[in-house]
Amino acid sequence: MEILAWIEQTAPSRWVREDFYAYFILLIFHAWGMALLVGGGVAVSLRVLGVAKQTRLQRWHAIFPWMKLGAVLAIVSGIGLLAGYPAKALTNWVFALKFACLIGAAWLCGNMARVSFDKGIEPVSLVKVQAALALLLWAIGVASGKLLLYTNTMLLTTDVMFEAGGD
């Protein structure tokens, strides 16, 4: 808790909480980043499962730079959001679930690209299982992100300090 309390007192953390626009601008960039990352990941997974089968696999490489841009936007803005309310996220198991699912889904998409897209080989059953699992992880990751709004037990460390009788 001491580390979280320290983070809450830093200038970036106070800026996110106190500036009228900061939090909302970070949310907008986070949404754009997630849309590029997750949207690309869902499209790749669906292609592996047979949707848009008439397109050559090598053409799908064009999605990955957009997914990388989305990942950068989501990570940078996510760090900003996390800096503003570290206790809200880091004391919530749903945040860990979101993180694990998104990392797992992104890894699976990268693996699918290496196995099938790079070689131009139509995906085999194991790669299709990975695509289905990636779709599930993308869905759980996005749903977990939305649930963060409703599952936190504290917003700031000062909430705990006041409950415990601290100053």
Here the tokens at position 91 are: 């004391």
Q: How far apart are the C-alpha atoms of 44 and 51, rounded to whole Å?
A: 9
Mean pLDDT calculated for residue range 23-49: 96
Predicted local confidence at residue 72, as pLDDT: 98
Average confidence score pLDDT of the chain: 90
Coil vs helix vs strand at 135: helix
pLDDT of residue 158 exceeding 60: yes
Please name the residue that has the structure tokens 């999605």.
Answer: 63
* Per-residue model confidence as pLDDT tens digits over 70-129: 999 999 999 999 999 999 889 999 999 999 999 999 999 999 888 887 777 778 889 999
CB of 146 closer than 8 Å to CB of 60 = no
Structurally, the chain folds into a number of domains equal to 1
Q: Name the 3-class secondary structure at 31.
A: helix
Domain that holds residue 54: 2-163
